[in-house]
């Protein structure tokens, strides 16, 4: 028997009969075990019970209070009861649940997940982050990927992701669906890089990394859906880094230079073509305008002649010879006035009539007058 057990029978009656603090029992009326030791023990036990009671209350409060969780603004929370997911996902704010092990609140950051997933199996070497110059590649050391035309390339792709907050299932799947979500995403990113590079030529991947990035992103999204319909992630893939092996870089640079020159040549040809077309359109307008002017002139002229004819006919019919002579004289006057030189022959001596306004001499280009 332990000391405690031995003491218990003697202590309990005294506890039951122990006076309350308000009662003042005369010491003389206590007939059994009223010695100082017993009283001290009784008081000690009373104090202990009070302390235990207070501790229990505190523990109960702490226990219940530990169920309060503050869900931050950029997070959502999942409520698990006996380990089972309870719909719906909890919004930011103060939430309360029974403390562990009954309930559990798991917080998840939904926006701007800081995890950066990188695929560099086709880029880095075993020792360096950047590809190194080499006459040949050792597969287990050098990182590279194969392009659709059987060439080798270095491709590095990076992506971040965020959860679709509107889908409670997505949050649950993200948190509980995968043993290592980062490893899973890295594997499918590597797979997407391989698929994208294996289906296009090295020069396409090298000169158009944006398009390569789109193909990688599409593949990543497709593969995520294939693995889990509930995992709704918004993928943000940055433009992949594409490099050709150092040894073949000069050949690629020369190719790009020719390509640029070619583009320039085509741009010039297009500009010339546009100019030719615009000139032709301008000339066409001039031709059409000239035709219209000639037509107007003809009509106006014929109309005027017809009017003049009608006006002159009566004079002509009255004396045709005189009419003709008058008009001939008028015509000769105008013709001779405009003529530069007029020669008329009188007998054997030709006579000359010099025009009144000498012709202006044109200056030869660069010459003296």
Partner 1 sequence: MKKNHITLTIGAFLVIIFGFMLFTFQVRETEVAIKTRFGKAVLYDDLYVEGDTLPDGKAVGDVKTKADIGPGLHPRLPWPVHDVHIFDKRIQSSEWAFEQTGTRNSQPILITVFVTWRISEAELFNRRHSGDLAKADDLLQGQVRSAQNAVIGKYAFNELVSTNKDELKLDEIEEEMKTRVAEASKVNGIEIIMVGIKRLGIPESVTGAVFERMKAERQAEIQKIAAEGERQAMEIKAKADLEANKILAQARAEAIQISGEAEAQAAKYYEVFKQNPELANFLFQRKALEGLLKENSTLILDPNTPPFNLLTQPDATKAAKP
Please tell me whether residue 7 binds partner 1 under the rule CB under 8 A.
Answer: no
CA distances from 298 to 287, 291, 307, 320 (A): 16, 10, 14, 28
- Pair of tokens at residue 83: 């380990």
Figure out which of the listed residues 51, 61, 68, 336 binds partner 1, where binding follows CB under 8 A.
Answer: 336
- Can you tell me the distance from the alpha carbon of 306 to that of 59, in angstroms, rounded to the nearest whole number? 126
For the chain, the residue count is 369
Figure out which of the listed residues 344, 362, 363, 366 binds partner 1, where binding follows CB under 8 A.
Answer: 344
Q: Which is nearer to partner 1, 25 or 273 (CB)?
A: 273
Name the minimum Å distance from CB 6 to partner 1.
Answer: 20
Are the CB atoms for 86 and 147 separated by under 8 Å? no
Name the minimum Å distance from CB 136 to partner 1.
Answer: 4
* Contact positions with partner 1 (CB under 8 A) in 44-83: 49, 53, 56, 80-83
What is the enclosing helix (H) or strand (E) of 150?
A: none
Stretch that binds partner 1, among 108-116, 125-133, 163-171, 268-276 (CB under 8 A): 268-276
DSSP for 46-61 reads HHHHHHHHHHHHHHHH
Stretch that binds partner 1, among 24-32, 64-72, 147-155, 210-218 (CB under 8 A): 147-155
Phi, psi for 119 (deg, rounded to 5): -110, 110
- Can you tell me the distance from the alpha carbon of 121 to that of 70, in angstroms, rounded to the nearest whole number? 41
Figure out which of the listed residues 126, 133, 281, 363 binds partner 1, where binding follows CB under 8 A.
Answer: 281
Q: Which is nearer to partner 1, 70 or 313 (CB)?
A: 313
* Contact positions with partner 1 (CB under 8 A) in 303-332: 303, 305-306, 308-310, 312-313, 316-317, 320, 324-325, 327-329, 331-332
Figure out which of the listed residues 6, 24, 226, 348 binds partner 1, where binding follows CB under 8 A.
Answer: 226
Cis preceding-peptide flag for 107 (omega within 30 of 0): no
* Contact positions with partner 1 (CB under 8 A) in 188-217: 188, 190-191, 194-195, 198-204
Figure out which of the listed residues 21, 101, 366, 369 binds partner 1, where binding follows CB under 8 A.
Answer: 101
Please tell me whether residue 285 binds partner 1 under the rule CB under 8 A.
Answer: yes
Please tell me whether residue 144 binds partner 1 under the rule CB under 8 A.
Answer: yes
* Token pair 């640079």 in the structure block, residue: 253
Taken in order 220, 223, 228, 229, the sign of the CA dihedral is: positive
Please tell me whether residue 43 binds partner 1 under the rule CB under 8 A.
Answer: no
Tally of CB atoms within 10 A around 14: 17
* Contact positions with partner 1 (CB under 8 A) in 21-40: none
Figure out which of the listed residues 269, 318, 367, 369 binds partner 1, where binding follows CB under 8 A.
Answer: 269
Q: Which is nearer to partner 1, 115 or 262 (CB)?
A: 262
* Token pair 């009784």 in the structure block, residue: 42
Non-local CB neighbours of 296 within 8 Å, separated by 6+ positions: none
Tally of CB atoms within 10 A around 43: 11
DSSP for 7-47 reads HHHHHHHHHHTPPPTT----GGG--SS-SHHHHHHHHHHHH
Q: Which is nearer to partner 1, 45 or 95 (CB)?
A: 45
Please tell me whether residue 121 binds partner 1 under the rule CB under 8 A.
Answer: yes
Q: Which is nearer to partner 1, 129 or 247 (CB)?
A: 247
Figure out which of the listed residues 21, 341, 361, 364 binds partner 1, where binding follows CB under 8 A.
Answer: 341
Q: Which is nearer to partner 1, 27 or 310 (CB)?
A: 310
Cα 355 from chain centre: 83
Name the minimum Å distance from CB 333 to partner 1.
Answer: 8
Non-local CB neighbours of 63 within 8 Å, separated by 6+ positions: 99
Q: Which is nearer to partner 1, 112 or 274 (CB)?
A: 274
Q: Which is nearer to partner 1, 4 or 359 (CB)?
A: 359
Tally of CB atoms within 10 A around 90: 20
Tally of CB atoms within 10 A around 205: 25
Name the minimum Å distance from CB 28 to partner 1.
Answer: 27
């Amino acid at each position: 028997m332990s000391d405690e057990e031995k003491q218990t029978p003697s202590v309990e009656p005294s506890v039951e009969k122990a006076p309350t603090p308000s009662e003042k029992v005369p010491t003389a009326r206590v007939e059994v075990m009223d010695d100082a030791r017993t009283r001290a023990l009784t008081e000690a036990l009373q104090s202990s019970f009070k302390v235990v009671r207070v501790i229990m209350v505190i523990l109960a409060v702490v226990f219940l209070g530990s169920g309060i969780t503050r869900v931050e603004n950029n997070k959502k929370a999942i409520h698990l009861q006996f380990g089972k997911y309870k719909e719906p996902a909890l919004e930011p704010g103060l939430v309360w649940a029974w403390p562990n092990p009954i309930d559990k609140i798991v917080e998840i950051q939904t926006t701007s997940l800081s995890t950066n997933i990188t695929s560099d199996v086709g880029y880095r070497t075993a020792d360096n982050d950047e590809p190194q110059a080499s006459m040949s590649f050792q597969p287990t050391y050098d990182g590279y990927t194969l392009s659709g035309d059987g060439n080798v390339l270095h491709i590095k792709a990076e992506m971040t992701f965020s959860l679709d907050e509107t889908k409670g299932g997505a949050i649950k799947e993200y948190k509980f669906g995968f043993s290592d979500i980062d490893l899973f995403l890295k594997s499918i990113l590597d797979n997407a890089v391989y698929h994208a590079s294996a289906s296009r030529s090295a020069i396409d991947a090298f000169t158009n990394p944006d398009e390569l990035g789109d193909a990688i992103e599409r593949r990543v999204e497709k593969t995520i859906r294939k693995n889990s319909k509930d995992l709704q992630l918004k993928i943000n893939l940055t433009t992949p880094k594409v490099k050709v092996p150092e040894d073949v870089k000069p050949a690629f640079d020369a190719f790009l230079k020719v390509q640029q020159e070619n583009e320039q040549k085509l741009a010039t040809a297009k500009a010339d073509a546009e100019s030719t077309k615009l000139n032709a359109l301008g000339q066409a307008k001039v031709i059409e305008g000239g035709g219209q002017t000639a037509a107007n002139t003809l009509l106006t002229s014929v109309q005027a002649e017809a009017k003049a004819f009608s006006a002159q006919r009566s004079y002509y019919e009255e004396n045709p010879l005189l009419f003709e002579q008058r008009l001939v004289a008028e015509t000769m006057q105008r013709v001779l006035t405009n003529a530069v030189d007029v020669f008329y022959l009188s007998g054997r001596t030709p006579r000359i009539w010099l025009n009144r306004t000498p012709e202006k001499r044109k200056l030869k280009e660069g010459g003296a007058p």
